[in-house]
A and B are shown apart, each in its own frame.
Chain A
Amino acid sequence: MDAAALTRKYGSTVLGSLGVGLWLVALLLLASAAQNSQAFDRWLPWILLVNISGLLTLLVLLAGKLYQLVKDFRRHVPGSRLKGRTVAIFSVLAVAPILVVYYFALQFLSRGIDSWFEIEVSQGLKDTRELSHAALEVRVREFLQHTQVVAHELSGLTDFNLFSTLERERRDSGALEFTVVGAPTQIIATSSDRPMDTLPAPATDEMMLQVRRGRPYVSLDTDATGGYVIRAAAPLDAGPNAPSHVLIALYPVPQQLSQLADTVQRSYTQYANLVQLRRPLESTFVLILTFVVLMSLIAAVYGAFFAAQRLVQPVQDLIAGTRAVAKGNYDTRLPLPSRDELGFLVTSFNDMTKRLSRAREETRRSQQAVEAERAGLAVILARLSTGVVSLTPDLIVRTANQAASAILGIDLEAAVGARFDESINDGVLFTHFLAAVKARLQEEQLDWREQIELPSESGKRVLMCACTALPNEVGGAPGVVLVFDDITTLLQAQRDAAWGEVARRLAHEIKNPLTPIQLSAERMRRKFLGSMNAEDAQILERATHTIVAQVEAMKQMVNAFSEYARAPDMHVARFDLNQLITEAVDLYRAQESTAELALLLDANLPPISADRVRIRQILNNLVTNSLEALEGKDGARIEIETQAVEDGPKHMAAIIVSDNGPGFQRDLIGTVFDPYVTSKPKGTGLGLAIVKKIVEEHGGRIEADNCRSGGARVRVLLPLSDAARGPAGREPRKSEHRRERV
């Protein structure tokens, strides 16, 4: 987890703990400071700092929450709108009453404190002060006058008489102290009712200055005990003995009057203190109230965030969970917030995801099973010799096996996913196959089985094709599966077997009576020719000659059949094919044939493993066939060509015999290798059939067509080795020789 994530996760907690810690520290400092004034002065800045820090911490927390909310709101984070609305509602619900209370408390403070300092109270205190002052003023003036009288009486007295008169006058007047001072403030005589250790009241500069200016002095003073005394001073009349003496008198104020005056003074002082505190007190209360309201507001809004988060968190979890499920994460589980309705919703969500997860797991397993089944089926299809092609209703190739490609001569597996009739358009066989299939599908024949004969480059091919509709897909037309097999070889084998049987029967049923017929005809000729007249003898001679000639012809025909039906008895050996061809052609050249025999032999042709006698028979049959076709033609020419070719993986030797004769009839090209198919009047129709039979016994292939310049061309492909020939062309067992021998 990186630093930013840690900050996001634990930032609020750390800041909240810091705020609470600061608040506790502030309380501790305040408790410590409340012990005495000096501690308060010392801790005051720290208390302020801690309080401001706490307030700032709360503000930072709140600002962070607000910033996060606005950011989420703009990013359309799930649940941010709901959270914003919830915070707004909670904030309004919490803040509105606080503000109302704040307003009324402010009004109450302002007007309440004002009411404490009503003008009547202030005026009343002033009046009381004036009253007290007036009440004492009368007594002060009386004492002043009395002091002046005593000063007059003391004028002119000697120092000795001065003290006694002073003592008497003090006692008579009830004064606390009489003191006569000279210049500057020397005490001349004093009489006091106060304790002996108490010094006489000193003459103040103010007093002496005023008296020396000739004006009496009087003042109402407080003593050290808080009581009131009246201090008066008057100059003695000037005389030779007392040029500048001053009488200072100290009169007591009656205790009741003094107490009343003291009460008035204390009330006045206290009120003055209160008046002085009025504005600061009001401001302090407003400040404290504002601070508390501010803290309450912040706490309320922060609490609104907290409550909104508690409410919205399960909803946000549900939204995130729903998105995760929509993306395919069915393993999502949400924490259970509580046991209320939201908790029920979360529990239902968790149950749903659990069931979805289970269902997906089951689906996955089923899919795996289907895939395994499909893979097995694909292996089976690949190994089948039967071609299988499945098509969608739109004729798009869904599947095709190797056998289908091999039979149709195209790469159908590469065409999977493409349209059957558009993507693949090469090959004569496939073109005709496609036409035959489409014709049936367009007639909406989805279930049929039919043998289809198709022309191809190598002759007619016969396919046994079956079409079956696939199970109907939801909301669409059914597809089809085509199953087809190349039965050309099978049919050919059946046909060969049938002809072989015919040949055996002909050889057996016809050849045996021919010899007695021929012998009987010759014996009849020998016995009756001499005893007959010339005319009859001529008839007999001609008849027996005809019988013998026809029997001979029939023998040749039966021998040919016997040759065709003969069981393969091959003697395979390696020899030079070119040399064999050269030898065979030399024999024809020696017979002064009218046709030109040209050899185009491949000098690089390797030796071939084959039955030399039979290969020579192939050459004889093909050359004889061409010679018969070229009979009577000027400029007749036969070309014999050899090539080394690759037929798929097999190494083959090709023998191509072509002539410039009339060529094969177009309608017979597909059947020229069948027995008794011939266009020549003297032909037995077995020459090419025997050639084809020998070629197939060698595991080879034969093709017949016409040259572009005219004339027939037969192409024989023979395997060069036993391995290339395969099992079909290998030497059969002896038992098979015996069984098939005619």
Chain B
Amino acid sequence: MRFSPTLQALRAALLTVALLGAAVSPCRAEGLEGRFEVRSADLELAGGVYHLNARIDLPISDAVRRGLNEGVPLTLEVDLDVERVRQLLPNSRVAELTQRYDLQYNAVSARYILRNENSGQQQSIPTVDAALEQLSEVRSLPVLDKALLHSDRRYEASVRARIDYGRVPFTLRLLMFWVNEWHRESDWYTWTLQP
């Protein structure tokens, strides 16, 4: 079929746009892999205070491990939400807590520094596996005073984990909104809490 010069020019323009789109699409970098979730969680009463124990599956890929070894920080946030269950009305929030951990490799000391951002405590860990193992376990984290809960009411506790890989300036995040490899968020892990 023969086309007029106008149609040929339009056809060439459309083809160019299609090729450009195809060239841009493979630019995505590798992201975190695997399922990121809260495997288990519970609140343990000790000394009149509820302590949080949680186990989190961290889908750390080899690329992220290499990045950690190069000095890219990894931040884990654990959100705890305790709500009183009501029948006809929406649940009312009793307690809300976000625990933030920061894992970063110190190139000078050649050790991994795991820092509790809430308390300021930090640990020096020699290997990345030990550091990740440490990060995936929340042990006896005091979160709630028993006095805030009433024994004759029913409560729901939910835990969620969020992980941020790297420190990307917010403006860059705006620009790179389509790249989501450095931020993951697990589903809520919810269980019933009976004081």
| Chain A interface residues toward B at CB < 8 A | 30, 33-34, 37, 40, 44, 47-48, 66, 69-70, 73, 84-85, 87-88, 91-92, 95, 99, 102, 129, 132-133, 136, 204, 206, 219-222, 224, 228, 231, 261-262, 264-265, 268-269, 271-273, 275-277, 279-288, 290, 293-294, 297, 301
Query: What mask results when residues 166 to 177 of chain B are scored 1 for a CB within 8 Å of chain A, else 0?
Result: 111010111111
Contact of B176 among A84, A133, A273, A284 (CB under 8 A): A284
Residues in chain A near residue B176, CB distance under 8 A: 277, 280-281, 284
| Chain B interface residues toward A at CB < 8 A | 4-7, 9-10, 13, 16-17, 20-21, 24, 27-29, 67, 70-73, 104, 106-111, 113, 120-126, 130, 165-168, 170, 172-179, 181-182
Q: Is the CB of A88 within 8 A of B104?
A: no
Q: Is the CB of A129 within 8 A of B108?
A: yes
Residues in chain B near residue A47, CB distance under 8 A: 177
Q: A282 to B107, alpha carbons, bound, how many Å?
A: 27
Closest to A140 in B: B109
Known: A92-B9, A272-B72, A297-B13. A264 touches B177 (CB 8 A): no
Q: Is the CB of A132 within 8 A of B108?
A: yes
Q: A221 to B121, alpha carbons, bound, how many Å?
A: 13
Q: Is the CB of A265 within 8 A of B168?
A: no
Q: A295 to B11, alpha carbons, bound, how many Å?
A: 17
Q: Is the CB of B181 within 8 A of A273?
A: no
Chain B nearest CB: distance from A608 CB in Å?
A: 95
Q: A650 to B118, alpha carbons, bound, how many Å?
A: 137
Residues in chain A near residue B21, CB distance under 8 A: 290
Q: A273 to B111, alpha carbons, bound, how many Å?
A: 18
Residues in chain A near residue B182, CB distance under 8 A: 276
Q: A48 to B178, alpha carbons, bound, how many Å?
A: 9
Q: A130 to B40, alpha carbons, bound, how many Å?
A: 41
| 25 A-B pairs with C-beta separation under 8 A | A34-B174, A70-B7, A84-B6, A129-B108, A133-B107, A136-B108, A204-B124, A206-B126, A206-B130, A221-B109, A222-B106, A224-B121, A224-B122, A262-B108, A269-B107, A269-B167, A273-B71, A273-B73, A276-B67, A276-B166, A276-B182, A283-B24, A285-B175, A287-B24, A301-B13
Known: A294-B17, A297-B13. A282 touches B108 (CB 8 A): no
Q: Is the CB of B20 within 8 A of A265?
A: no
The interface residues of chain B, by DSSP majority, are classed as: mixed
Given A269-B73, A273-B168: 16 more A-B contacts, CB < 8 Å? A44-B177, A85-B6, A88-B5, A88-B10, A91-B9, A136-B108, A222-B106, A265-B107, A273-B166, A276-B70, A277-B168, A280-B181, A282-B27, A283-B27, A283-B28, A297-B17
Known: A87-B6, A129-B107, A228-B108. A280 touches B124 (CB 8 A): no
Residues in chain A near residue B130, CB distance under 8 A: 206
Q: Is the CB of A228 within 8 A of B20?
A: no
Residues in chain B near residue A286, CB distance under 8 A: 24, 27
Q: Is the CB of A88 within 8 A of B9?
A: yes
CB-CB nearest 5 A-B residue pairs: A283-B27, A272-B71, A88-B6, A220-B109, A84-B6
Q: Is the CB of A133 within 8 A of B13?
A: no
Q: A91 to B17, alpha carbons, bound, how many Å?
A: 14
Residues in chain B near residue A222, CB distance under 8 A: 106, 109, 113, 122, 124
Q: A278 to B185, alpha carbons, bound, how many Å?
A: 24
Residues in chain B near residue A261, CB distance under 8 A: 108
Q: A197 to B108, alpha carbons, bound, how many Å?
A: 29
Q: A224 to B102, alpha carbons, bound, how many Å?
A: 13
Residues in chain B near residue A293, CB distance under 8 A: 20
Closest to A279 in B: B29
Q: A44 to B5, alpha carbons, bound, how many Å?
A: 42
Q: A25 to B20, alpha carbons, bound, how many Å?
A: 27
Q: A224 to B10, alpha carbons, bound, how many Å?
A: 64
Residues in chain A near residue B13, CB distance under 8 A: 91, 95, 297, 301
Q: A293 to B27, alpha carbons, bound, how many Å?
A: 17
Give the one of B104, B109, B111, B168 with max A CB within 10 A. Answer: B109
Q: Is the CB of A133 within 8 A of B110?
A: yes
Residues in chain B near residue A87, CB distance under 8 A: 6
Chain A nearest CB: distance from B40 CB in Å?
A: 23
Q: Is the CB of A271 within 8 A of B71?
A: yes
Residues in chain B near residue A279, CB distance under 8 A: 27, 29
Q: Is the CB of A288 within 8 A of B29?
A: no
Q: Is the CB of A283 within 8 A of B10?
A: no
Contact of A287 among B70, B126, B178, B181 (CB under 8 A): B178
Closest to B28 in A: A283
Q: A30 to B171, alpha carbons, bound, how many Å?
A: 12
Residues in chain B near residue A99, CB distance under 8 A: 16
Residues in chain B near residue A281, CB distance under 8 A: 172, 176
Closest to A126 in B: B107
Residues in chain A near residue B165, CB distance under 8 A: 276
Chain A nearest CB: distance from B32 CB in Å?
A: 12
